[in-house]
Structure 1
């Protein structure tokens, strides 16, 4: 089983290995999350490290739960 990267900044390759997906698949998912404002990308040398934008992600969960419970 791959390492758990919860809360860590990770590269596309690290996430692909952890989730057993191809890097292009992970990259497409990361692009969607970035466009939604749920992910932050920071360049470190030749790598880009991604972290979840937890306050916005948490708010999204609360908004979704409120909409479902109406």
Structure 2
């Protein structure tokens, strides 16, 4: 029974982490979109996603050409 409870808690935490990360990514994408539309700093804006085999996954807002 304890194992089932642990797995349920672990699943809940994983789901919560996924929800928070998804919301952060959505916010960064919208920020890039808003900056591009308004031509902030007279530049193009985008989001770079890095999904490496080593597990150092990240995303970042950037200004300039892709």
| Greater RCO (Cα-Cα under 8 Å, separation 6 or more) | 1
Greater per-residue helix proportion: 2
State whether TM-score is above 0.5. no
The TM-score with structure 1 as length reference comes to: 0.27
The TM-score with structure 2 as length reference comes to: 0.28
